[in-house]
Structure 1
Amino acid sequence: MYKRMTILTVLVAMGCVATRSLNSLSRPQHRLGVTHGRLADCPDRPNCVSSTASRPSQQLPPIPLTTSPPSAMEILASVVKANPRSRIVTQSDHYLHAEFRSRILGFVDDVEFLVDENNSVIQFRSASRVGYSDLGVNRRRMNELRDQVTVAQQQAR
């Protein structure tokens, strides 16, 4: 019995290490960036949310833009950096792409922000790279980030 438990424990540990290693090598399965002034729409999977999603189940309200675009980009960058297991991949005058990793298995989610001056909002999109459902992780994260950015913009005024 003890030998079986030891073997099972080793196999589970090896599976976790292999999964984490493969997740670190994963590439986005969806288009990233800005096309014609918009972020890409979410794929037909529940592990994506966006302020510009065409499907109601994937929609969240955008972040109000209450500071200048340069100030908003600074705030976005500082809020993202303050979150554990996150890193900024790309940042320009109006666009930011970050990666967020899950705590245990290191699953990667791509998070994008686009400062939309014409509509005085910050559009966003958050999508998991692998799997089908994320059990609401992207929705919770984006609600939290929206709240953090909104408060930081109010404090910056």
Structure 2
Amino acid sequence: MSRNQTNHFARGMLVMGLLTLIGCAGDRPADLGPLDGQLRACPDSPNCVSSFDTRDSHAIEPIRGTPEAVKQALNQMERVEIITDSGGYIHAEFTSRLMGYVDDVEFLANPHEGVVHVRSASRLGYSDMGVNRERIEQIRSLIANP
């Protein structure tokens, strides 16, 4: 193989590898949504936070506000798509810039308490390097400071 052919082959393999990784978004979970007034529990892996979880590694406070305020915050963010909006429940997908990984973020309103419960979870992988917690805090900040 000539040097030019070797370089062309190497570039092709690199592109194929990147395309494979980018396509690793994972399938949308079938069990999302409220169940008995709550969002489903986080797995044991440290790539999920939920306002219904009591473990220090997964617990996060609900957001003070309304579903409308949540939607307004989501509309200010990048690489997010609202998949479900059924009044008191919102499911949004966030896609990472480089690798195309998808995180599922859910919101469930409790109007009696004036809060919106949250769950943010990575579809793939084990650790999220704190991305899901940071995302919820960013949404909380956007709602508090419109």
TM-score range, shorter chain: 0.7 to 0.9
Contact 1:76 1:149 in 2 (8 A): yes
| Cα offsets for 1:49-93 (capped at 9, x unmatched) | 11111321111111123xxxxxx2222112112211100000012
**Counterpart residue number, 1:69:** none
| Cα offsets for 1:7-66 (capped at 9, x unmatched) | 43432221111222242xx2234731000111111011111011111321111111123x
- Give the one of 137, 140, 143 matched to 2:134: 140
**Counterpart residue number, 1:48:** 48
Task: Give the stretch that moved more between structures: 85-94 or 53-62.
Answer: 53-62
**Counterpart residue number, 1:12:** 14
**Counterpart residue number, 2:108:** 114
Percent sequence identity over matched residues? Answer: 38
Q: Could you tell me which runs of 5 or more consecutive residues in structure 2 were left unpaired when the two chains were aligned.
A: none
Distance in 2 (alpha carbons) for counterparts of 1:73 and 1:60? 18
Distance in 2 (alpha carbons) for counterparts of 1:73 and 1:9? 47
User: RMSD over aligned Cα, in angstroms?
Assistant: 1.9
**Counterpart residue number, 2:23:** 21
Report the TM-score, using the length of structure 2 for normalisation: 0.88
Structure with the bigger percentage of helix: 1
Superposition deviation, residue 122 in structure 1? 1.1
Contact 1:81 1:88 in 2 (8 A): no
Q: Which amino acid aligns with 1:97?
A: H
Superposition deviation, residue 118 in structure 1? 2.7
- Give the one of 65, 71, 82 matched to 2:76: 82
Distance in 1 (alpha carbons) for counterparts of 2:129 and 2:8? 31
Contact 1:62 1:123 in 2 (8 A): yes
Distance in 1 (alpha carbons) for counterparts of 2:92 and 2:24? 19
**Aligned residue pairs, count:** 144
- Give the one of 99, 102, 108 matched to 1:105: 99
Secondary structure at 1:119's aligned position in 2? coil
